[in-house]
Homo-oligomer: A and B are copies of this chain.
Amino acid sequence: MQDRDTTLSLVLFSGTDDKLSAAAVLAVGAAAMGRPVNVFLQYYAVDAFRSDRIAADHGLDPEATPAQRSTVTTHAGQHWSELLRQAKDIGEVSIHACALSMEMFGLKQNDLDPLVDDVEGVAAFMSDAVAGPITFI
Binding site for B on A (CB under 8 A): 5-6, 8-9, 11, 13-16, 18-19, 22, 25-26, 28-30, 32-33, 35, 42-44, 47, 59, 61-65, 68, 71-72, 75, 77, 98, 100, 104-106, 121-123, 125-127, 129-137
Residues on B with beta carbons closer than 8 Å to the beta carbon of A32: 123, 126
- In the complex the two chains form, what is the Cα distance from A25 to B120 in whole Å? 13
Contact B77 A100 (CB under 8 A): yes
User: Shortest beta-carbon distance, A71 to chain B, in Å?
Assistant: 6
User: Shortest beta-carbon distance, A80 to chain B, in Å?
Assistant: 12
Contact B14 A72 (CB under 8 A): no
Contact A16 B63 (CB under 8 A): yes
- In the complex the two chains form, what is the Cα distance from A115 to B95 in whole Å? 33
Contact B104 A75 (CB under 8 A): yes
Contact A105 B71 (CB under 8 A): yes
- In the complex the two chains form, what is the Cα distance from A47 to B136 in whole Å? 21
Complex A-B: 5 CB contacts under 8 Å: A5-B131, A11-B135, A22-B43, A26-B126, A71-B105
